[in-house]
Amino acid sequence: MTTVVFGEYAFRFKEDKGIKQIFDPVRRKYVALTPEEWVRQHILHYLMEKGYPASLIAIERGIDVNGTSKRFDIVVYDRDSQPLILIECKAQSEPLDHHVVMQAVGYNLSVKAQYLWLTNGTHTYFIRLSDGKVLDEVPPFAM
């Protein structure tokens, strides 16, 4: 397990009809601020801080997993538009257990990313799938 230290990010918030929202710089819109979204927004800012272009990040897109419609949290693509990292975000209160691993692996049957990143904002597993190695940190984006 790896501990990712997030920076201090300048999040933008607003409230709409009693619902607190946070601005998503990738989707370029405000979204409901749920515990999982709080983790997702930290991950997005962290990725952009590491040099990953927002244009190569997809959020909550539909995929087919064994004939069932699912939605991944985040997929980061490389410069050739190939899936690089599949990221599964959970709320901080949710453990990263066997079910989370199986969910991400199942999603990756469709996505075929090179890395899996499982996080609840407190605990993180960043796994290189070619050899199953758990890495200490997310590498900077390769130009």
The pLDDT tens digits for 72-102 are 999 999 999 999 999 999 999 999 999 999 9
Q: Where are the alpha helices (DSSP H) in the chain?
A: 35-49, 98-111
What's the rounded mean pLDDT across residues 53-73?
95
The pLDDT tens digits for 112-135 are 999 999 999 989 999 999 999 999
Q: In order of start, what are the domains of the chain with their CATH numbers?
A: 13-135 (3.90.1570.30)
pTM (2 d.p.): 0.92
**To which residue do tokens 């075929």 refer?**
112
pLDDT mean across residues, the chain = 93
The pLDDT tens digits for 2-35 are 666 677 899 999 999 999 999 999 999 999 999 9
Element (H, E) at 84: strand 83-89
- From residue 8, give the alpha-carbon distance in Å to each of 4, 31, 40, 46, 118: 13, 20, 15, 10, 21
